[in-house]
Amino acid sequence: MKLDNPDDCVDSDAWLGLWTAFRTIWTEEADRIGVVVGCSGGADSVALVRLIEAARRQTASPASLVIAHLNHGLRGEDSDRDEAHVRSLAEELGREVVVQRQKQSRQAPVQYDDDPDDRGGSGQRLDSDEASLRQARRRFLVQTAKQHGCRYIALAHTADDQAETVLHHVLRGTGSAGVSGMAISTPIEIDFIVRRPLLNVRRTLVRQALTEIRQTWREDLSNQESRYTRNWIRNEILPAIRQRLPGVDASLIRLAENQSQTDELLTRFGRQWFDAFVSCVLGSDSSRWLRIQTSFDRDASRLWKHDHELARDRAVITRGLQWMFQQYQLPMRDMTQTHWHRLCDLVLKPHDEPEMRSVGHLPGRMEMKSELHAVWIGPIRL
């Protein structure tokens, strides 16, 4: 069966169902934008490559589609077979493939704004190993997008991944952002957008569709082991809950949708708060400091003058501070609830003397200072 065009697969109900769900998110506008697709060789990402390829051909779009695979090399020959599978898929489609073999050295974790699994604490060591792999993939995908002039990075997360993510966050303890799960579109590193066009699709539909169109994929057998908390939730916890509450996945997904609406609103206020109250100041030794205005006397904060309560709302300030950390790429991974509370308290109640005083440290060897009408954080390297 030829797979270049979705019309070639009309005899597959599952493929058509998958194509329709994909097309509600991946519009014709998306066809005109260069994309890097992260492909592990697994069912979901193989399907995503096929779908984006079909969309490109349907609209005869010349925009690039780069297939990117990071070979972590953790499963010996099995990893090499995954890589070979991705290479042969790219060759069959006549698309460029970028493969990188990961060096087996530990790199310092880097926080990415949109990775919900990276929010809210360190968790167990194994889980943080898994988070490091995910971060290495993100670094690689962003780098590939930069090198190929692509704006989109497409990932194949499904509705099942969303349900697992939300439950994982709830069990581990999370803020509102964690309960929102993953978004269909998230900006990353200013110039790029992570797209998740399969986020409303169930994993079973993907597999059924691939089987019907006779497209093979690689099965990562290590996913069946429950060593990682994420796999344990996928393999043991969710199936056990489903036996008694068959609608659990839908409930978790709905919870994420509802929460993300509230969360968007909070982020909007948080950004406005940041714009009104935060400025970056060059220190005497050419280091930089962030100055957080705590009074309403600047022109920029006029917006907030008529709504003092909102400007002093803890949730808004905390979100504004988190936005500030993202904008200046400050190390957020090691920030605990206690750090956020401490910062928030300082902003709400700075010292009432005019002299600046050091009032503690933050992760990443940063210092907090407080004075009348302002809190300072730094030094930071830009």
Residues 309, 314, 320, 325, Cα dihedral to 10°: 160
Query: Which of 56, 157, 168, 369 is close enough to bind ligand ATP by CB under 6 A?
Result: 157
What is each CA distance from 325 to 274, 311, 333, 356, 382, in whole angstroms? 10, 18, 10, 22, 12
Q: Which of 229, 114, 239, 129 is nearest to 171 (CA)?
A: 229
DSSP state of 12: -
Q: Single out the residue of 137, 169, 195, 291 in contact with ligand ATP (rule: CB under 6 A).
A: 137
Site for ligand ATP in 318-347 (CB under 6 A): none
Residue closer to ligand ATP (CB basis): 12 or 40: 40
Q: Which of 31, 113, 114, 161: binder of ligand ATP (CB under 6 A)?
A: 161
| Contact between residue 284 and residue 356 where contact means Cβ atoms under 8 Å apart | no
> Residue 45 interacts with ligand ATP (CB under 6 A)?
yes
Residues 196 and 184: beta-carbon distance below 8 Å: yes
Question: How many angstroms separate the CA atoms of 209 and 16, rounded?
Answer: 8
User: Which residues are bridge partners to 320 per DSSP?
Assistant: none
- Give the C-alpha separation, 260 to 268, whole Å: 12
Nearer to ligand ATP, 42 or 378 (CB): 42
Longest pairwise C-alpha distance within the chain: 77
Stretch that binds ligand ATP, among 26-34, 153-161, 296-304, 329-337 (CB under 6 A): 153-161
- The residue range among 35-43, 110-118, 186-194, 327-335 that interacts with ligand ATP, by the rule CB under 6 A, is 35-43
What is the C-alpha to C-alpha distance for residues 293 and 276, in angstroms, rounded to an integer?
8
CB contact at 8 A, 120 and 53: no
**Which SS3 state, helix, strand or coil, does residue 249 take?**
helix
Segment near ligand ATP (CB under 6 A), from 37-45, 174-182, 240-248, 314-322? 37-45
Stretch that binds ligand ATP, among 43-51, 239-247, 280-288, 314-322 (CB under 6 A): 43-51
Going by C-alpha positions, the residue among 155, 175, 167, 179 that lies closest to residue 44 is 155
Q: Using CA atoms, how far apart are residues 87 and 141, in angstroms rounded to an integer?
A: 16
Beta carbon of residue 43, minimum distance to ligand ATP (angstroms, whole number): 5
**38 touches ligand ATP (CB under 6 A):** yes
Q: Is 131 in the site for ligand ATP (CB under 6 A)?
A: no
Q: Which span sits near ligand ATP by CB under 6 A: 67-75, 184-192, 342-350, 369-377?
A: 67-75
Total residues interacting with ligand ATP, rule: CB under 6 A: 15
Which residue lies nearer to ligand ATP by CB, 39 or 290? 39
The residue with tokens 């909007």 is 268
- Binding of residue 116 to ligand ATP (CB under 6 A): no
Q: What end-to-end distance do the CA atoms of the chain give, in Å?
A: 53
The answer to whether 13 is annotated as binding is: no
Q: Which of 155, 183, 252, 380 binds ligand ATP (CB under 6 A)?
A: 155
Query: Could you tell me which stretch among 41-49, 88-96, 302-310, 345-353 binds ligand ATP (CB under 6 A)?
Result: 41-49
Q: Which amino acid is at 324?
A: M
Q: Is 233 in the site for ligand ATP (CB under 6 A)?
A: no
CA 202/CA 155 separation, integer angstroms: 15
Please say which residue, 44 or 249, places its beta carbon nearer to ligand ATP. Answer: 44
Q: Is 34 marked within a binding site?
A: no
43 is in an annotated binding site: yes
Q: Please tell me whether residue 70 binds ligand ATP under the rule CB under 6 A.
A: yes
φ/ψ of residue 96, rounded to 5 = -70, 140
Binding-site sequence positions for ATP: 40-45
Binding site for ligand ATP (CB under 6 A): 38-40, 42-45, 68-70, 137, 155-157, 161
Residues within the annotated binding site?
40-45
